[in-house]
C-alpha cells in the first residue's frame, strides 16, 4: 500500500486550550511587572532580555523505528522579570522560545516554548557583581504546525503531533555584572526536568544563555 502516514490527532479543542497556558503566563508576568514597578524606589526590579540555545541527549539506538528526536539546538530568545527585596530574596518569571521553527523528524515544523516562575536568592560577590540562584516550576509547550500533512520515514510510519504541554521543574544560576550604572550583562545556565516529555527523547533539558538587563531601584 506504499508509505503509510499514521496520525495522532486528539480532539483539537482540548489541545488548543493548552496554548492558553502560555498566554495566561505572559499576561500574569506583565501584570505583576506593572504592580511591582511602583515599589522600584524601595526594592529592586530587574528586566532582562537575551538569547541562547538548548542541550539534551539524542537517541543512540541504531533502530530504524520512528523515534522522538533530541530537544537541542536552535536560537532561543528569552525575557525575564525579577523582584528582589533588600535581604536579597525574591521571585522571578521568565520565558524562552525557539526563534525559528524547527523540523521535527524532518517532516513537521515545531516550536518549543519554556516558561517558569522561581524563588531567587542573590549572593553578593562585589559591589558590581552578584550570583543569582533560583528554583521553581513551570511548563514546556511545544507548538506543532502543518498537522494534517502526510509524511514519510524509513519505517514507513510517521506520527503527526498537535500542541503538547508538560509540567517542568526548573533550576538556574546566573552571574550578574553591572557594566554601566544599572545596566548589567548576565551569562546564565538553566536546567529543566520536563516530566513525561514524550515528544522528545529525554526529560532532561539544559539552556545556556546570555542576557542584557537593567535594574530599577538598585543602590549604587
Q: What is the model's pLDDT at position 40?
A: 47
- Residue 150 sits in which domain range? 6-57+73-216
10 is a domain residue? yes
CA angle 101, 104, 108 (to 5 degrees): 80
154 is a domain residue? yes
63 is a domain residue? no
CA angle 176, 180, 181 (to 5 degrees): 90
94 is a domain residue? yes
95 is a domain residue? yes
Which tens digits make up the pLDDT trace of 39-79?
Answer: 544 589 999 999 999 999 987 765 556 688 999 999 999 99
Q: What is the model's pLDDT at position 29?
A: 60
Whether this model's pTM surpasses 0.85: no
203 is a domain residue? yes
Write the DSSP symbol of residue 218.
-
The number of distinct structural domains making up the chain is 1
Q: The domain that contains 15 carries what CATH number?
A: 2.40.160.20
Which tens digits make up the pLDDT trace of 25-39?
Answer: 656 665 655 555 555
67 is a domain residue? no
34 is a domain residue? yes
Amino acid at each position: 500500500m506504499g508509505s503509510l502516514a499514521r496520525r495522532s490527532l486528539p480532539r483539537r479543542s482540548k489541545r488548543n486550550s493548552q496554548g492558553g497556558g502560555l498566554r495566561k503566563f505572559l499576561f500574569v508576568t506583565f501584570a505583576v511587572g506593572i504592580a511591582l514597578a511602583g515599589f522600584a524606589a524601595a526594592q529592586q526590579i530587574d528586566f532582562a532580555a537575551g538569547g541562547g540555545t538548548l542541550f539534551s541527549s539524542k537517541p543512540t539506538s541504531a533502530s530504524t523505528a520512528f523515534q522522538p528526536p533530541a530537544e537541542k539546538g536552535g536560537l532561543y530568545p528569552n525575557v525575564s522579570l525579577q523582584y528582589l527585596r533588600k535581604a536579597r530574596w525574591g521571585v522571578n518569571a521568565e520565558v524562552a522560545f525557539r526563534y525559528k521553527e524547527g523540523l521535527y523528524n524532518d517532516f513537521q515544523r515545531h516550536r518549543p516554548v519554556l516558561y517558569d516562575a522561581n524563588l531567587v536568592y542573590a549572593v553578593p560577590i562585589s559591589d558590581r557583581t552578584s550570583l543569582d540562584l533560583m528554583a521553581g516550576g513551570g511548563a514546556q509547550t511545544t507548538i506543532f504546525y502543518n498537522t494534517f500533512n502526510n509524511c514519510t520515514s524509513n519505517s514507513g510510519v510517521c506520527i503527526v503531533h498537535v500542541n503538547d504541554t508538560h509540567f517542568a521543574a526548573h533550576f538556574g544560576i546566573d552571574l550578574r555584572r553591572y557594566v554601566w550604572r544599572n545596566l548589567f550583562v548576565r551569562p546564565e545556565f538553566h536546567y529543566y526536568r520536563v516530566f513525561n516529555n514524550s515528544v522528545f527523547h529525554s526529560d532532561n533539558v539544559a539552556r545556556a544563555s546570555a542576557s542584557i538587563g537593567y535594574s530599577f531601584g538598585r543602590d549604587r
